[in-house]
Structure 1
Amino acid sequence: MPTLYRTHLPALALLFADLENHARAQSRVFVGTAGSVLERSNADGFRFYAHQFYDGDGKKRERYLAGPVGSSAADSLAQALRLAITDTKAATISLRLLGREGFALVNAKTYATLASLYNHGVFQAGGVLIGSHAYGLLLNQLGVAGTPYATEDIDIARREKLAFPALPEASFLEMLQSTGIPFIEVPQLDARQPSTSFKERGRSRFHVDLLVPSAGEDFQVVAVPELQAHATALPYLGYLLADSQMSLLMAREGCCMVRVPLPERFALHKLMVSQLRTNRGSQSEKDLFQAAVLLAVLGEKHPGAIEEAWRRVPLSILARLRSAVAQIRHLLEPEHVRAWEEINAE
C-alpha cells in the first residue's frame, strides 16, 4: 500500500514559514482581493480616494477611502492602503507556488468568510476552525501533502465564552455577511429552535456551522451571547478544543492566521466521531482516513504526541475509539508501522 502522505521539500517549508511570519504581522486582512487605490471625483469636483476590489462573492466593489486628494490625512491613508495591497500581492505569488506544489489552499468564499472572522477577532478570542478545512491547515503545518479534500462546510467552534477585549457590535451573521456573500440563517426542523447554521442564499451548499461542546452524548442548541448567535452542542467536542494553536490559512487571494486544534487531538477526535455517526457511510470513511493520515505523520515526525493525546481521552469513549483504531489498521500497516505501534500500544 502506498504511503499516506509525502513530505514537502525544505525550500517549500521555508517559504511557508516566511508566509506565516507575514500573516502573524497582519492586524487586518483583505476580505476578497487586495484590489487597488483609485482617485475619483464627485459632481462637485471633490477629489477623493477609493478602494476597488472583488469581494468574497466575486463581485466588483468600490468603497470610499478618504478625501480630499492632497490632504495629509487622506494621502497617508491612501499610501498605507497601497503598501498593504503591495504586501498582499507579493505574498500571493508565494501562495500560488505553494498551491501548485501540493499545499492546501482554500477557495475564495472560504477565505473571505474566515478572513472576516479574523478581522472581527473571533480566532484571537478563542474561536476554533475544525472539520476538513482544519485538516488541510494541519497538513500544511506538519509540512506534508495528503490526498486533496473537498468540502463546502465551514465549522467554527468555541469551548468557552470567547475572550474578546470588548464585545463585538456585529453579530455572527453580520460578520459573515460583511464578506459580500449573502448569508442567511438556516431554519431548524423544529421551528421553535433558533438557527445554528448559516448558508449562502439560494441553491448554494456553502454554509457555516457554529458548534460548542455538549456535556454528554446528546445534541442541544446553546446560546452564544458574545456572538449574538446559537450553536449546536456536540459530544466529545470539548476534548478536541482543549488545546489549540494558531495556524496559517492560505488562499490565492491572501493569507491569515486562524485557530485550529492540535493534530493529535484532531486525529483521535476523528476516530471518535466516526463511531458516533448513526449512518456510517462516506463521512465516517472520510473521518477514518483523515485520522489515519495525521496519525501516520505524527508517529513518524512527532513520536509521543499520540500517546499524550490518548491519555486525555474520556473513559466513556475508549471502547469505541479502540474499535475505530482497528478499522484503520489496513491504512497504517505496513508503510506506517511506527504510528500503528504507538496507537496500538494504548
Structure 2
Amino acid sequence: MPAPSLVAQTTYAELLERAANDAFQDAFADNGSFTAKSINGRKYWYFQTGTGADRSQRYVGPETPELLERIARHKEVREDERERRALVSTLVRSFSFPRPIPEIGDVIAALAKVGVFRLRGVLVGTIAYQTYAAMLGVRLSAGSLQTGDVDIAQFKNVSVAVEDSTPPVLDVLKEVDRSFRAVPHVSDGRRVTSYAAKGGLRVDFLTPHEGKETARPQKLPALNTDAQPLRFLDFLIRDPEPAVILHGAGIYVHVPAPARYAVHKLIIARRRPEGLAKRDKDLQQSEALLAALAEKRPHELKSAWAEAHGRGPKWRQLMLEGLALLAASVRDKLLKTIGAPRSIIPDMDLSFDNPPARYDFSRDVVTFQGQAPGGAVNCAVSREALDDHFGADGLGQDGRLQAFLKHRSRIEEIARAKYLSAPVDEPGGVLVKTSDVDSFSARRAPKRK
C-alpha cells in the first residue's frame, strides 16, 4: 500500500488539475476564441469575444504546454464540482491538511472568480503557507497556520502589461461582506492598499518596490487597486506555483514557490524586532518548510538559496543571521543541501567540557558530546581512526576508550575543525574518520570567539 504522504500528494495533484480546468472553464465563455500575441519574443494568449467595435480581449496567460492543452480541451471540460468537493474533504478529514476559516475562503473565492489569479496576482502570507502542507505532503504546526489576513501581490510591470482588469476590489469584497471598507493609506489618504471588514478580516495588496525604496503606494491597474511596495518581495513572487485552497470545491490560486517562501521568511524574520510574535511565526514557517524541502525538493531549495545569496552582502547577512536562529537539526539539513560548512553561521563554534565518553559497540566508535549554538552535538571517533593514529591497534573496547582519553584534547580539536570547516555530512553530529585526522590536524579551525 502506498505511503500516506504519497496518497495525499496524489489526491492533491488530482484536485489541482481539476481546479485548474474548472477555473479556466469558468473564466472564458464558449462564445469566443483564443488568439495569441507575441510580446518581447514570448507568446501570450488572449480570449476574444465580439466583433468590430464590440470586440474585447481578456488576458489568458503566457504560452506553456499546459495552457495549450487547456485551450484544446476548453469545450470538453465538464462540471465536476461534486467530485472536487469530495477530494477537498478527503484532504482535510483524512490527512488533516489545513483549510482557511470560511470567511477567508469566501474572500479568496470571490477574488479568484473575478480573475485576480488569472491576471497573475500571487497569494502570499500564511494562507499561501497553508497550501504547502498538501503540496508537499507534510504536517505543519497549528500555531504557524493561524491568520485573519489575505495578502495578494503582483509585479507592477505585469499589472500594466496584461491589458485586462478585475472589477474594483471594494466592489468584489462587498459582495462577500457588506462591512468591508477601504482603509486610507497612512502616507497618502487618497490611496488604498488595504480593505478591512468588521471582525478583523483584512485584505492587503502588495508589490515589489522598484529602485529607491519608498513607502508611496503604487497603482496595480490589472487588479484595480493600489498596493504597498515592499523590499524582498520580488524574490518571493517570481516564478509562482499553482495551488489549491481547501475551501468549498477547491480554489485555484498562485502562491510563491515553497523554497522561495522559506528563504524569504528567514530574511523577513531577521528584520523584525526580537520578541515580536510575527518574528516567531516567520521562523516557525521557515523552519518547517526548510526541513521538508531538504528532503523532498533539495534542488529547488539549493537554487533558491543560491539566488538569494547572490543578491548582495545585505541579503547574505540577513539569511545567515536568520539561519542561526533555527533549530540545529534544520540548520544542518539546509547546510548539507547547499554544501556549505557550519562556519558560515555567525558566532558558530563547538566546545567541550570534559563530558563522559563511552564505546558504542553497534557503531564501533567512541562517542562524546560537544556544545554548539542550538544545543548538544553528538561527536564520535571511529575505531579505524583510533587504531591508525592513536595507538589503539589490537586493543579491546576498554583499550580504545583509554586511547581516546589519552589523546582526547587532540581528537576534540580535530572534531571541532571538521564540524566547523567541512561541508555538513551528519546533521546534528560529527564523526572523526581515519582520513580526517591528517586533513583536519593540518587545517586550523576558525579561532574561538
Does 90-99 or 295-304 show the bigger shift?
90-99
Judge conservation of contact 1:28–1:119 (CA < 8 Å) in 2: no
Q: Give how far 1:226 is off.
A: 2.8
* Aligned twin of 1:54: none
Picking from 137, 149, 170, the partner of 1:153 is 149
1:10, distance to aligned residue in structure 2 (A): 2.5
* 1:247 match: 243
Structure 1 residues 232 and 344 mapped into 2: Cα distance closer, same or farther (>3 Å)?
farther
Q: Distance in 2 between matches of 1:104 and 1:174?
A: 29
User: 1:28–1:118: 8 Å Cα contact kept in structure 2?
Assistant: no
| TM-score normalized with structure 1 length | 0.74
Partner of 2:85: 92
Partner of 2:19: 23
* CA distance in structure 2 between the aligned counterparts of 1:176 and 1:117, rounded to whole angstroms: 8
Deviation at 1:281, TM superposition (A): 1.2
Q: Does 1:143 align with 2:137?
A: yes
Q: Is the 8 A contact 1:264 1:298 kept in 2?
A: yes
Task: State the 1:283 CA deviation.
Answer: 0.6
1:65-102, CA deviations, whole angstroms, 9 ceiling, x for partnerless residues?
A: xxxxxxxxxxxxxxxxxx84xx3233323322211222
What secondary structure is seen at the aligned counterpart in 1 of 2:176?
coil
Q: Percent identity?
A: 25
Does residue 112 (structure 1) correspond to residue 109 (structure 2)? The answer is no
Deviation at 1:246, TM superposition (A): 1.1
Deviation, 1:326, is: 0.5
Aligned residues: 280
Alignment of 1:248-327 (within 5 A): 248-251=244-247, 253-278=248-273, 280-313=275-308, 314-315=311-312, 316-327=314-325
Q: Residue in 2 aligned with 1:198? A: 195
For the Cα contact (< 8 Å) 1:153–1:209, is it kept in 2? yes
Q: What residue in structure 1 maps to residue 209 of structure 2?
A: 214
Q: 182, 195, 206: which one pairs with 1:185? A: 182
TM-score under structure 2 length normalisation? 0.58
* Equivalent position amino acid for 2:121 in 1: G
Could you report, residue by residue, the CA deviation over 1:233-255 in whole angstroms, capped at 9, with x for unpaired residues? 1111111112211111111x221
SS in 2 for 1:220: coil
Deviations 1:310-340 (CA, angstroms, capped at 9, x unpaired): 221121321121100010133626xxx4334
Contact 1:103/1:145 (8 A) holds in 2: yes
- Aligned equivalents of 2:275 and 2:239: distance in 1? 27
Q: C-alpha separation between the residues in 2 aligned to 1:29 and 1:173?
A: 25
- Relative distance call for 1:193 and 1:322 in structure 2 (3 A) is farther
Code of the residue aligned with 2:124 in structure 1: it is I
Q: What is the aligned-residue RMSD (CA, Å)? A: 2.5
The alignment partner of 1:192 has SS state of: coil
In structure 2, C-alpha distance between the alignment counterparts of 1:28 and 1:164, rounded to whole Å = 20
How far apart, CA to CA, are the structure 1 residues paired with 2:317 and 2:166? 45
Structure exhibiting the larger radius of gyration computed from Cα positions: 2
Aligned mates of 1:115, 1:310 — CA distance in 2: 32
Query: What aligned pairs does 1:167-178 form with structure 2 within 5 A after superposition?
Result: 167-168=164-165, 170-178=167-175
- Rounded Cα–Cα distance in structure 1 between residues aligned with 2:325 and 2:339: 12
CA distance in 2, matches of 1:227, 1:208: 13
Paired residue for 1:127? 121
Which ranges of structure 1 fall in alignment gaps of 5 or more residues?
1-6, 31-82
- One-letter code aligned to 2:325: Q
State the one-letter code of the partner of 1:192. G
> Conserved in 1, the CA contact under 8 Å of 2:245 and 2:253?
yes
- Which residue number in structure 2 is paired with residue 73 of structure 1? none
Q: Deviations over 1:199-256 (max 9, x none)?
A: 11x3x111100000113555331122333321111111111112211111111x2212
- Shift in CA distance, 139/309, structure 1 to aligned 2, threshold 3 Å: same
Residues 107 and 88 from structure 1, CA distance in 2 versus in 1: closer, same or farther, beyond 3 angstroms?
farther
